[in-house]
Amino acid sequence: MLKNYFKTSIRNIKVNKSYALINVSGLAVGIAACLLLFLVIQFETSFDDFHPQHKKIYRIGSMFNSQEGTSYSGGVSFPVAPALRVDFPQIKQVASIYKHEGDQITVESYGKNLPKKFNKTDVYFTEPEFFSMFKFSWLTGDAKTSLSEPNNAVLTREIAEKYFGDWESAMGKTITRNNKELYKINGVLDNPPQNTDFPLGVVVSYSTLSNTIAKINMEDWVSTYSGACSFVILPDDLPVQKFNNELPVFAKRHKPAEYAKDTYIAQSLDDIHYDDRFGNFRRHTFSHSLIRALMLIGIFLIFIACVNFINLATAQAVNRSKEVGVRKVLGSNRSQLAFQFITETALITFAAVIAAIGIAIAVLPLLNQLLEVKMTMNFYNNSILLLFLSVVGVLVTLLSGLYPAVILSGFNPITALKSKISTKKAGGISLRRALVVLQFGIAQILIIGTLIVLNQMNFFRNASLGFDKAAIINVDIPGDSISKSKIEYLRFKLQQNPGIKNISFSFASPSSNGSWQSDFKFDHSTKSTDISANLKWADVDYFKTYGLEFVAGRQYFPGDTVREFVVNETMVKKLGIINPADAIGKELNFWDGEKVGPIVGIVKDFNSYSLREPMAPVVMSTWKNVYQTINIKIKPGAEKNTLAFVEKNWNEVFPDYVYQYKFLDETIADFYKQEDQLSKLFTIFAILAIFISCLGLYGLVSFMVAQRTKEVGIRKVLGATVGNIVYLLSKEFSLLIIIAFVLAAPIANFIMKKWLQDYSYRIEFGVTVFLIAIFGSLTIAWTTVGYRAIKAALANPVKSLRTE
């Protein structure tokens, strides 16, 4: 019986090639998109689930309460971990790990060549306990012995091969961090999996920290380092709620009284990849709402493809009515017929799934490139993927096959044999209309959403940040004091080049990823303010280089140490001063008198973080010892020569270090990398949705044109013009798309308003976006319908009438 069904199905598919092609390609594209989305979601939800104890591991995060609300950090102060061990003896496992970014690693090449230098390296300082908590496998060495002594280091296989050629020969060799600290390689880790938020590379024993030249104060309960994380494994008798209730007491016991408002909070390892309030070492979080959005898009795309199927199948039902009639007369009952049609759908779906796998394999590398990940599609060890595909296959078959099967098998055999089944009877024109409306509704929601995301991205790129970011490069300078003493010499050398307009040395550029924040005492107050000031240490040329404008007072005098302060308008507002000029002369006191001086000027506000964040209060002053970057404004047209000139002179001044520069506008664009990736992803899916919808529309119109050949012929004989005919054939679809728009617009409006809430600086979208969406979809639909319609209208009426 099944064989007979297969045979009939395959022959039927062959007879209606174009119909099958539309179905298969629409479904294949939909399923492929769904498959890729599944891979993305599977990848993003698998982070750090390979550690056997991942459910029990918690990270201690920090919670800061101030007048602006609550803010969070994934890091803590250094003494937290030792104190936890003492205060919570029931917690058996506590581990600290500290990530230090942007170090330079020098690898001796043992006489042969010059030493190899690698900059911008992340170095992880961690305790042996970390590796008994987290499962990273060792190629040689083990956690207990390899990381017990100070100045011992462990490399991952990839890094070991990069530094020493092959990992076996790395053991026992040495590397130098920032030209100061010598570490011995005492173990090699296998490369960490892709799905970890601990992208280890260079790992150094934790005991090294207290001995580093920078001399980190391990007893400081005030400073919080975002890279300093503490992990615990909570025992069964200490549930996380109970632990979180005890942490405020713990914080109060240890933190200085002034900071008693701030506390700690335990965050499950399973949440680390999703919660952007705390962040992670990978600097990439993937929120649950984003996962939901992607799932929804996947479901939408599959649904749109299924709608095509249903529409074409029911429209085509008339052609199948004779077969249904004959089979019924020959003794088939309804369920057998329904089963036969379902088999046919299953065959088409199967073909689509195979095609979808092919498409997905071809597209995966591009997706990896876009998202900057390395996902793989492997059917051998990813049984969930197979299961997913089977479920999708069955669902699609039922979703798209069931309704047409029920309709077709329900035909009365006598009417069916007399070919009296009309398109109207076969599954209701109104259902087909409703499905088309739904399809285009979804497509238009995606279009409107994409347009708004793109607009917001555009806004990010072009928004005025309050400072001049064009043609400015930032060049790193080494952190040691000898290098600092050479700053003025480098400035002098660089000034010789006429291509350079301005040079300024500073801690950071006006808008940068890393920031230095602190509270302070204002105007001789004994208590610290609630304000967390963003500290921008910079020489006096900074104002000129970035075009910062003053609203009151003057810039500070040149100097190497902190003597005078310039603040921004937001700071003045936060301090409760209405007229900026009134702030001049007031004293700022940082760290109990360590850095004290009067405010001498107020600059106009500029954005010191990404535009997701509100305007921050900024304090600026000179402080040569903390300068890390050179800000160089290049004259237009002189970029190429100037870049080479800067590199040459920099290398002459700092021969032991690696030269590195970046254009400021690129740095700023990087803030929005995730938004950028998402907007590209959304664009692709919106295009797919439109494509699949139009495919279905094309099929439907071709079919309707075929059905109405005679009508078109008669109308032409009666004197209808080509325009009349095209209008006749396309007016219904235009109406459907307009109805779809009326439904889609408010939904899209609601969703996108909500999405924009996350951004402190956001676009106001008006009617334009909606107008583009509706006219865009109408144009696309007309193009799709138009071809068939014009073809039908141009056909010779004599011919079309003769066929009857």
Please list, residue by residue across 121-151, b when 16 or more beta carbons sit within 10 angstroms of its beta carbon and e when fewer do: bebbbbbbbbbebbebeebbbebeebbeebb
Q: How far is the CB of 1 from another protein (least distance, A)?
A: 5
Compute how many other C-beta atoms are within 10 angstroms of the C-beta atom of residue 360.
21
Residue 77 one-letter amino acid: S
Q: How far is the CB of 336 from another protein (least distance, A)?
A: 7
Please tell me the distance from the alpha carbon of residue 6 to that of residue 138, in angstroms, as a whole number: 54
Please tell me the distance from the alpha carbon of residue 630 to that of residue 34, in angstroms, as a whole number: 47
330 near another protein, rule: CB under 8 A: yes
- Candidates 182, 260, 326, 387; binder of another protein (CB under 8 A) is 326
- Candidates 11, 180, 242, 277; binder of another protein (CB under 8 A) is 11
Q: How far is the CB of 341 from another protein (least distance, A)?
A: 14
Size of interface with another protein, in residues (CB under 8 A): 22
414 near another protein, rule: CB under 8 A: yes
DSSP β-ladder status, 533-537 and 517-518 = antiparallel
* Nearer to another protein (CB atom), residue 12 or residue 589: 12
420 near another protein, rule: CB under 8 A: no
What is the DSSP-derived secondary structure letter of residue 753? H
* Nearer to another protein (CB atom), residue 327 or residue 469: 327
425 near another protein, rule: CB under 8 A: no
719 near another protein, rule: CB under 8 A: no
Please tell me the distance from the alpha carbon of residue 701 to that of residue 703, in angstroms, as a whole number: 5
* Nearer to another protein (CB atom), residue 7 or residue 648: 7
Stretch that binds another protein, among 2-10, 52-60, 355-363, 532-540 (CB under 8 A): 2-10
- Candidates 295, 367, 417, 751; binder of another protein (CB under 8 A) is 417
15 near another protein, rule: CB under 8 A: yes
329 near another protein, rule: CB under 8 A: yes
Strands (E), 108-180: 116-126, 138-140, 152-156, 174-177
Q: How far is the CB of 323 from another protein (least distance, A)?
A: 6
Beta-carbon contacts of residue 13 (< 8 Å; ≥ 6 apart): 20, 344, 347, 348
673 near another protein, rule: CB under 8 A: no
What is the DSSP-derived secondary structure letter of residue 204? E
Stretch that binds another protein, among 21-29, 44-52, 329-337, 375-383 (CB under 8 A): 329-337
Q: How far is the CB of 413 from another protein (least distance, A)?
A: 5
Q: What DSSP string runs through 249-302?
A: HHHHHHS-GGGTT-EEEEEEGGGTTT-TTT--TTS----HHHHHHHHHHHHHHH
410 near another protein, rule: CB under 8 A: no
Q: How far is the CB of 690 from another protein (least distance, A)?
A: 35
18 near another protein, rule: CB under 8 A: no
Q: How far is the CB of 11 from another protein (least distance, A)?
A: 4
Stretch that binds another protein, among 153-161, 322-330, 369-377, 626-634 (CB under 8 A): 322-330
**How is residue 303 written in tokens?**
């649904």
Q: Give SS3 for 317.
A: helix
709 phi and psi angles, rounded to 5 deg: -50, -45
* Nearer to another protein (CB atom), residue 343 or residue 570: 343
Measuring CA to CA, how many Å separate 331 from each of 29, 337, 414, 624? Answer: 39, 10, 14, 95
Task: Dihedral sign for Cα 265, 269, 272, 275, please.
Answer: negative
327 near another protein, rule: CB under 8 A: yes
Chain centroid offset of residue 116 CA: 34
- Candidates 42, 132, 207, 336; binder of another protein (CB under 8 A) is 336
406 near another protein, rule: CB under 8 A: no
12 near another protein, rule: CB under 8 A: yes
Residue 27 one-letter amino acid: L
Stretch that binds another protein, among 5-13, 222-230, 432-440, 631-639 (CB under 8 A): 5-13
788 near another protein, rule: CB under 8 A: no
- Candidates 111, 172, 256, 331; binder of another protein (CB under 8 A) is 331
Stretch that binds another protein, among 11-19, 261-269, 556-564, 574-582 (CB under 8 A): 11-19
- Candidates 325, 404, 466, 553; binder of another protein (CB under 8 A) is 325
Q: How far is the CB of 39 from another protein (least distance, A)?
A: 39
What SS3 string covers 480-503? CHHHHCCHHHHHHHHHCCCCEEEE
- Candidates 46, 65, 226, 332; binder of another protein (CB under 8 A) is 332
What is the helix (H) or strand (E) element at residue 680, kind and residue range? helix 673-707
Per-residue contact flags (x/-) with another protein for residues 566 to 605, judged by CB under 8 A: ----------------------------------------
Q: How far is the CB of 270 from another protein (least distance, A)?
A: 54
Please tell me the distance from the alpha carbon of residue 451 to that of residue 310, in angstroms, as a whole number: 30
**Residues 210-269 interacting with another protein (rule: CB under 8 A):** none
Q: How far is the CB of 714 from another protein (least distance, A)?
A: 26
343 near another protein, rule: CB under 8 A: no
6 near another protein, rule: CB under 8 A: no
Measuring CA to CA, how many Å separate 768 from each of 455, 689, 774? Answer: 11, 21, 10
Residue 397 burial by Cβ neighbours in a 10 Å radius (0-12, 13-18, 19+): buried
What is the helix (H) or strand (E) element at residue 735, kind and residue range? helix 722-756
* Nearer to another protein (CB atom), residue 4 or residue 495: 4
DSSP β-ladder status, 587-590 and 521-522 = antiparallel
Secondary structure of the chain: what % helix, strand, coil (to 5)? 50, 15, 30
791 near another protein, rule: CB under 8 A: no
- Candidates 413, 499, 776, 786; binder of another protein (CB under 8 A) is 413
Q: What spatial distance separates the first Cα and last Cα of the chain, rounded to whole Å?
A: 36
- Candidates 254, 322, 563, 604; binder of another protein (CB under 8 A) is 322
- Candidates 109, 210, 333, 390; binder of another protein (CB under 8 A) is 333
Place of tokens 């010191």: 608
Length of the chain: 804
Compute how many other C-beta atoms are within 10 angstroms of the C-beta atom of residue 601.
22
Q: How far is the CB of 412 from another protein (least distance, A)?
A: 9
* Nearer to another protein (CB atom), residue 192 or residue 325: 325
Residues 597 and 585: beta-carbon distance below 8 Å: no
- Candidates 49, 122, 323, 647; binder of another protein (CB under 8 A) is 323
Chain centroid offset of residue 594 CA: 41
The footprint of another protein (CB under 8 A) covers: 1, 4, 7-8, 11-12, 15, 322-323, 325-333, 336, 413-414, 417
